Structure 1
């Protein structure tokens, strides 16, 4: 418990600067700004509002309770990062789990890095820091990359420099957003891995994607088994395979057609589709003829 008290005492001298309305620091050029920027200060926990740009949307309650227990014993080891909005008002950039857990244990102050930034800078910092420091699920990471592209207009090359990831890695995450929403939820909830998702994304038809997803979950398929399943499906779509399958099925139907005609004494129509499915039509000309066909079927 001594460690916790010591940890929470960080920056109390500097924090006094923030409690003086006449010394309100709004920019890097203001007096005493150099004492604030880059330092860890204790700020009122109720003065911090949640960042609307926060990419994380799912918080595991059990993990949050474990973090709260750690904070109760050791204090907040890694400070949160906030930006200054107004006098004694801050907006969270990163560290929402630490903020939530600190509130659970009843802390009234929290150590924080304070930055002065506009909305765009805040968004970039929030997304980049969360991608690098937190265990976001693959879909949350993909959404973060997408927001950097759409809202900040960063290219994949620029993102690669910002987050220290290869461009191909960023591209692989972004491709996950092409998956059916049900599958995206499955990845977020941990039913399947990013590897499974990367295999499924090679199929454009969302209905087929969903069918394969259900098969993965029900049969607990590995990534390699999923890749093999996807390849089998794709091989079946190749023009050569379709033509060959269709021709074989039609030839079999043609060979059997005469047997149908002889058996029913009627002009039986046999149609076969390219996927191997088909339909047999038996015409009748009267109720008497219909009953005759029924008897033949029953005897057969």
Structure 2
């Protein structure tokens, strides 16, 4: 198969989740519904927190940042997929594909960092309650979000620049519903050893450090809560962490499921279906998790509606 330089590549083909034309209307309706629920749910979170002065605290500031990130990630992936199904056109331009790769890495990395920041916020609130307002001041909160965004952006730019170096073959069909970095690299005809090494290194850094931070934060949280004498105090302390724990479990559980499915199966389509579980489902469910398990959010929704 003759290789072509990447400057000659005009477009890739996104084959989607299935080849069956009869399933396309169902997939379109399903993903459109999921996208609308994601947008509306996260917008309600943002509006509720913004309109209620009682929720102007670091925890809800980070929750709003997470909601904005979830909207951005879903908007990066789903609309293009819906347009392709509607037009019965599987193509995506080279620049569009590279942009999608970059933005997906930014927002997935941002979600990863935000979950770690939220775990640190809960650690300070429970383990150092008297110093919480001093430690988690507004400047630090904004700084933590900006640093998370900057780190994710640098990571995305590194991978995008590495992809720009690649030459691609004449077969540009991608068995996926969006341009995922690993799938794009598989289409390259040039040597991808450096790119693969970079992926493993950045994965260990950008996944290992936040996950370790979350684990250590909750080790200290649990040890502090167990020292509380009253059962009511223990329940109240654990309830403030329940929503965050559910979101963390959902995001990392689905991401781990994608990794396992990719390792045990050779089917690219199965990997594409599994990718839905970390790029679409958590972003849709996060507003429900926080609103249904949080009394303050329920009250804010009641006032808003």
TM-score between both structures, scaled by the size of structure 2: 0.20
Would you tell me which structure has more strand in proportion to its own residues?
1
Structure (1/2) with the larger helix percentage? 2
Normalising by structure 1, what TM-score? 0.20
